[in-house]
Amino acid sequence: MTLFIKLEENRPVGHAIVEDNFRQLFPNTSFPRFYTAEVVEPFGYGIYDFSNMPQATGYTKYIEVEPVKNESGIWIQTWQLVDMTDEEKQEHDSKIANQVRLERNTRLFKTDYLALTDSTLTVEMAAYRQALRDVPAQDGFPHSVVWPTKP
């Protein structure tokens, strides 16, 4: 499916639209089966293509910036790497901490049956469960976690 983006002063503006919406904008125009930049640009639109957002690491993120026109005349979605704000860093850390705690809780849950009153909990298993509870106190939490080994 072909996507289109509005052009103003030969620069893309707004959001991409699908082929059916493009055709509805020009109901009395017969377009060829395959679109090219030369066909759609006289109507004030360009051909548009999404790209995958790269994966950011650490306290960085990618933001969408103005699309770039490639050698085929297609406007390609582009990304720029920027640093997170202090608020975004705190939110990022909180999200990762919650994910780590969820993993810790899952590991504890998998051994809960051993801690029932009618079951005997070994010293090793008690130490393992305590080490799981202590995960948030580790240096480097939540970005660097050393998981205890289950006995």
Query: Which DSSP letter does residue 112 get?
Result: G
Decide the pairing of beta strands 3-8 and 11-18: antiparallel
Predicted confidence at residue 112, as pLDDT, reads 87
Least confident of 19-23, 27-31, 38-42, 112-116: 112-116
Tokens for 96, please give them.
């990762």
pLDDT for the residue 144: 92
**Whole-angstrom Cα distance, residue 63 to residue 37?**
26
Contact at 8 Å (CB) between 35 and 2? yes
Asked if pLDDT for residue 13 goes beyond 80, the answer is yes
Among residues of the chain, what percentage have pLDDT more than 70?
A: 99
Q: What is the pTM of this model?
A: 0.70
Q: What is the pLDDT of residue 128?
A: 94
